[in-house]
C-alpha cells in the first residue's frame, strides 16, 4: 500500500494477516470484546426490565444482573459490591467524586490538591470549584512525570479535605506512587480520590492496600461498552459521604439518580471479570510487544526519546518523541495506523500537549511525540509493520528537514539567532 502525504511516500506492504488500518490508540478507547457483547445482547431485548421496578419479574431480573455486575467490578479493585456506584463514565465519576466530596466536607475545609498532568475531567472540575470559593493546589511533576511526595506533604494544610491524583496518566502511561499518597492522606485525615481509568484492568489495583477512598473507572478503556462507568466510594475506615450531583429518585444509594443503563452495566461487569482473569498474561504480552516497538525505534533512529518514566509505566503505553519531525506530518505519513500525536489541533492553533509541557519538554520535542497504546487485539506482526513504517517515514521527513541536517553537522541550534521576517 502506498501512502502519499506532504510529499512523503511509504511503499511498505503489510505482511500477510495484517489488516489495515491498524489500531494503536487503546488509551483513547478500546474495541468492545466479543465476549462482552455476547453477555450484553439479551439485555437489549429479552431482559429489558427497569432495575428499579421492584414489583415484577422483569425488574427483578434486571436488578439481579446489575448486582452481579456490581460484584464483578468490586472484585477487580478489591472493594465490596455495596461500594460501587454506576455512572455514565469516568468523566461523570470524577465530577461526582470531586464536587460531591467538596460539597459534603465544606465545613471541614475548602482546600483540594491535584496535579498539573491530570485528565481534563479532573482539572476542569477543580477549576469550576475554584469559582465557588475552593482553593486548589496543582502539584508540578518531575521530568519523569511523577509527583514529588515532599511537594504533596508541603501542600497539605489543616484546610485540605481532598487529594485527587490519577493512578496512571492517559498520555505518557506513568504510574504515580499511589500507595504512598494514600498512606499520607490517611495519616492526615484527608480523603483520597484517584482517576483509575487507565490503570484498572491493566495493572493490579487494590483500594484497601492503596488506601483509596474514591476511584473512578470507565467501561470503554477495558474492552467494555462506551457510556458506562463506576465510582468506588469507601464505606468504612473512613466512611466517605458524597452529595449527589444529579437529583431525582435517589438511585444508587442516593448518590446518583437516573434509570440504570442495565445493558451497559452488564457489559462493564463482564469486561471487569475478563480483565481479572487475563490481566497477568495480557500485561506480559503487551509489555513485550511495547518493548519490541521501542527497541526497533532505538536501533534504527537517532534523536528519539521516551517521554515519562519507563520504570513506572503501564505495560501497553509508549510515548516517544521523534525530534526534528513534526508530529502532524508524521501522522499523515502513517495514515493507515491509528495513534495519537503530542499536539492537539484546536481551532486555528497547534498547541503541544499540556502533559508533555509539564515534563519540561520544549515545544519542538512535544510536537514530535507520538503515543502508542497497544491492546488486547493487537499482534506482533502489527508491531513489526508499524515500527518499519514509522522508521521509514521519519527518515524521509528528516531528509527534508534543514534542522536535522544542521544538527547532524554538529551545529548547536540553541546558539543560532534566527532572522525575524
Catalytic residue among 126, 272, 275, 345: 345
Q: Compute the distance between CA of residue 84 and CA of residue 398 in angstroms, rounded to an integer.
A: 51
Catalytic residue status for 126? no
Q: Three-state SS for 319?
A: strand
Residue 53 C-alpha cell reads as 421496578
87: nearest Cα among 261, 266, 236, 344: 261
Name the strands in the sheet holding 340-341, side by side, starting at the edge strand that comes first in the sequence: 304-306, 317-322, 369-373, 340-341
Q: Compute the distance between CA of residue 32 and CA of residue 267 in angstroms, rounded to an integer.
A: 9
Residue 314 C-alpha cell reads as 503501564
Q: Compute the distance between CA of residue 193 and CA of residue 171 in angstroms, rounded to an integer.
A: 20
The DSSP code sequence of 49-94 is: --TT-TTSHHHHHHHHHHHHHHHHHHHHHT--GGGEEEESSHHHHH
Q: Compute the distance between CA of residue 361 and CA of residue 353 in angstroms, rounded to an integer.
A: 10
| CA 74 and chain centroid, separation | 20
246: nearest Cα among 99, 122, 102, 109: 99
DSSP-H helix ranges across 200-353:
262-300, 327-333
* CB contact set of 43 (below 8 Å; sequence gap of 6+): 62, 65, 262, 263, 266
Residue 56 and residue 191 in contact, taking contact as beta carbons nearer than 8 Å: no
User: Which helix (H) or strand (E) is 42 found in, with range?
Assistant: helix 42-45
Which runs of E-coded beta strand occur in 81-159? 84-87, 111-115, 135-139
Whether cis (ω within 30° of 0) applies to the bond prior to 238 is yes
Question: Which residues belong to the active site?
Answer: 345
Amino acid at each position: 500500500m502506498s501512502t502519499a502525504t506532504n510529499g512523503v511516500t511509504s511503499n511498505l506492504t503489510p505482511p500477510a494477516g495484517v489488516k489495515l488500518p491498524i489500531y494503536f490508540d487503546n488509551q483513547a478507547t478500546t474495541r468492545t470484546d466479543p465476549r462482552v457483547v455476547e453477555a450484553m445482547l439479551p439485555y437489549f431485548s429479552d431482559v429489558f426490565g427497569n432495575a428499579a421496578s421492584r414489583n415484577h419479574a422483569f425488574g427483578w431480573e434486571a436488578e439481579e444482573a446489575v448486582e452481579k455486575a456490581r460484584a464483578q467490578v468490586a472484585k477487580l479493585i478489591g472493594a465490596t459490591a455495596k461500594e460501587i456506584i454506576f455512572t455514565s463514565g469516568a468523566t461523570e465519576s470524577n465530577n461526582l467524586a470531586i464536587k460531591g466530596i467538596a460539597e459534603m466536607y465544606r465545613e471541614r475545609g475548602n482546600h483540594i490538591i491535584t496535579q498539573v498532568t491530570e485528565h481534563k475531567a479532573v482539572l476542569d472540575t477543580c477549576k469550576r470549584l475554584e469559582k465557588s470559593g475552593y482553593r486548589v493546589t496543582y502539584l508540578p511533576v518531575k521530568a519523569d512525570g511523577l509527583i514529588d511526595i515532599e511537594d504533596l506533604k508541603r501542600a497539605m494544610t489543616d484546610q485540605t479535605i481532598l487529594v485527587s491524583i490519577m493512578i496512571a496518566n492517559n498520555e505518557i502511561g506513568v504510574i504515580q506512587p499511589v500507595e504512598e499518597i494514600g498512606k499520607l492522606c490517611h495519616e492526615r485525615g484527608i480523603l483520597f480520590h484517584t482517576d483509575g481509568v487507565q490503570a484498572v484492568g491493566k495493572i493490579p489495583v487494590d483500594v484497601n492496600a492503596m488506601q483509596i477512598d474514591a476511584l473512578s473507572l470507565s467501561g470503554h478503556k477495558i474492552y467494555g461498552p462506551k457510556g458506562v462507568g463506576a465510582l468506588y466510594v469507601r464505606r468504612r475506615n473512613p466512611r466517605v459521604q458524597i452529595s449527589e450531583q444529579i437529583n431525582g429518585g435517589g438511585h444508587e444509594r442516593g448518590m446518583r439518580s437516573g434509570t440504570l443503563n442495565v445493558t451497559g452495566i452488564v457489559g462493564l461487569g463482564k469486561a471487569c471479570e475478563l480483565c481479572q482473569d487475563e490481566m497477568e498474561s495480557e500485561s506480559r504480552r503487551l509489555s513485550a510487544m511495547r518493548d519490541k516497538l521501542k527497541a526497533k525505534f532505538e536501533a534504527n533512529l537517532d534523536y528519539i526519546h521516551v517521554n515519562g518514566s519507563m520504570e513506572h509505566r503501564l505495560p501497553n503505553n509508549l510515548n516517544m518523541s521523534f525530534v526534528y519531525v513534526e508530529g502532524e506530518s508524521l501522522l499523515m505519513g502513517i495514515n493507515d495506523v491509528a495513534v495519537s500525536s503530542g499536539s492537539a489541533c484546536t481551532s486555528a492553533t497547534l498547541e503541544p500537549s499540556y502533559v508533555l509541557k509539564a515534563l519540561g519538554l520544549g515545544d519542538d520535542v512535544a510536537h514530535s511525540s507520538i503515543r502508542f497504546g497497544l491492546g488486547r487485539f493487537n499482534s506482533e506482526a502489527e508491531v513489526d509493520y508499524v515500527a518499519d513504517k514509522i522508521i521509514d517515514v521519519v527518515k524521509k521527513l528528516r531528509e527534508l528537514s534543514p534542522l536535522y541536517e544542521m544538527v547532524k553537522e554538529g551545529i548547536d541550534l540553541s546558539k543560532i539567532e534566527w532572522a525575524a521576517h
